[in-house]
Structure 1
Amino acid sequence: MQTPEDFLEGQILLIDKPLHWSSFQAVNKIKWLLKSKLGLKKIKIGHAGTLDPLATGLLILCTGKFTKRIPELQGQVKEYTGTFHIGATTPSYDLETEINERFPVDHISEDLLLKTVSERFTGEIDQKPPIFSAIKKDGKRLYEHARAGEEVEIASRKTTIHEFELTRIALPEVDFRIVCSKGTYIRSIAFDLGRVLQSGAHLTALRRTKIGEYSVTLAKTPEEFQNALTQD
């Protein structure tokens, strides 16, 4: 583990964010640990790309002077793994909200899934962010509009899906691995995939496994990071 001066000069920390933690909570926990365990009165720290509370996996934290590198890290290609549930939708496109509609899946075959992913969801695509997201519209977060029951027109945006692999098909569940550009919403891919299949779908599990060349296999949970600080 590095010295207090090393963290002030700048470090890149790979954190495996636990389920139900917000990215903000993870940053605050690591910041508190650095200050309390290393005797630092003040230290800058920030993350290079938010993860939803219902997602786990790689969160890159930058300390000290390395916080200037956050925009560069945010722009790198990301890899995710997870699970879609085919045949039902939720307003948030994931498990944050309850199922609001169910659809038949009898017409969906493995061949149809593979063909749809290959032809409609690889390369540059248009997608609309979920209404339950932190993007601002008219000075408010979209999720604030959603929770207030307000209808909002959301503009679509270009994003790039470099790789989209279905790793397990056991309807109604489908496991996936997706490599995509910055700003891609995997929840929106779930919703759009369900719609193209003339059914419905939502995201039930999500894990970020890579950001650029940084892998979650080298990351520490906040507890592991704390133990490493304490041991040293």
Structure 2
Amino acid sequence: MTGEDYKNGQILLIDKPLNWTSFQAVNKIRWHIRQRFNIKKIKVGHAGTLDPLATGLLIICTGKQTKNINEYQGQVKEYTGTITVGATTPSFDLETEINQRFETAHITDDLIYDTCKKFIGIIQQQPPIFSALKKDGKRLYELARKGETTETTEIASRSVEISEFEITKKALPEIEFRVVCSKGTYIRSLAFDFGKALQSGAHLTALRRTKIGDFSVDKAENIEQFISRLDAN
């Protein structure tokens, strides 16, 4: 593949590593394409942010394919992960420390499965204060990390659609799951709301995006593999 191919537009399926931001992954790939082909400027963008603590499928578009980013972002997504019940965190995941603990003795298999069913369909969801949404021109997570937002900060709820919510393994306090959902769904918020619906508390302790539309993480390569393939051209 040549530099012109990347300028004309490529779709790269990348398996984002843990603790990387989506922005870092895009920057790394853009830098290596520019270096490899001595290109001064090339558009590179991703179709849907993954949190640093999430792994999995990141669609990265180059050149003219960046015009189609909104189309890819709008497609149905599939995730797998782990919800830990009995405690909450301000970020709804492991980015922040536990702020409250709850009883779990009453949580039965039947309660878990019955609660799952309540989240199927179109639901109202409030994004977490640790999110990439903007308030007054600034990212919410930037404000939250500076202590400029609280759990009472007003964030508009949104309608999202959960088409599948499946429990794949239970070993309390951990519950492993698979979910298929619409664009704009926050799995961290789903974990938090799920804990509340269990009359307990919960937070997300692992997350992996496995599909975006017809694109699967099974066909993705990690960043090191992409760089090696690029250098071998």
TM-score with structure 2 length normalisation? 0.96
Unaligned runs of 5+ in 1: none
CA RMSD of aligned residues (A): 1.0
Structure 2: distance between partners of 1:170 and 1:92? 23
1:100-155: CA deviation from partner (whole Å, max 9, x where unpaired) = 1111111001111011101x111000010001111112333222332324341111
**Residue of structure 1 equivalent to 2:103:** 104
Structure 2: distance between partners of 1:15 and 1:125? 30
29-38 or 83-92: bigger deviation? 29-38
Q: Which amino acid aligns with 1:214?
A: F
| Matches for 1:1-232 after TM superposition, within 5 Å | 2-118=1-117, 120-147=118-145, 148-151=147-150, 152-232=153-233
Q: Please give the secondary structure, in 2, of the residue aligned with 1:61.
A: strand
Structure 2: distance between partners of 1:140 and 1:64? 28
- Structure 1 segments of 4+ aligned residues over 6 angstroms from their partners: none
Structure 2: distance between partners of 1:38 and 1:167? 45
Identity of aligned residues (%): 67
Q: Please give the secondary structure, in 1, of the residue aligned with 2:111.
A: helix
Residue 187 of structure 1: how far off its partner (Å): 0.2
1:54-102: CA deviation from partner (whole Å, max 9, x where unpaired) = 0000000111111100010100000000000011000000000001111
Structure 2: distance between partners of 1:143 and 1:19? 18
Structure 1: distance between partners of 2:51 and 2:116? 24
Unaligned runs of 5+ in 2: none
Structure 2: distance between partners of 1:15 and 1:145? 29
Structure 1: distance between partners of 2:176 and 2:37? 42
Q: Please give the secondary structure, in 1, of the residue aligned with 2:229.
A: helix
Q: Which amino acid aligns with 2:111?
A: L
Q: Which amino acid aligns with 2:73?
A: Q
Structure 1: distance between partners of 2:69 and 2:221? 19
Structure 1: distance between partners of 2:163 and 2:209? 15
Q: Which amino acid aligns with 1:173?
A: E
Structure 1: distance between partners of 2:186 and 2:92? 10
Q: Which amino acid aligns with 1:122?
A: I
1:187-218: CA deviation from partner (whole Å, max 9, x where unpaired) = 00000000011100000000000000000111
Structure 1: distance between partners of 2:144 and 2:195? 21
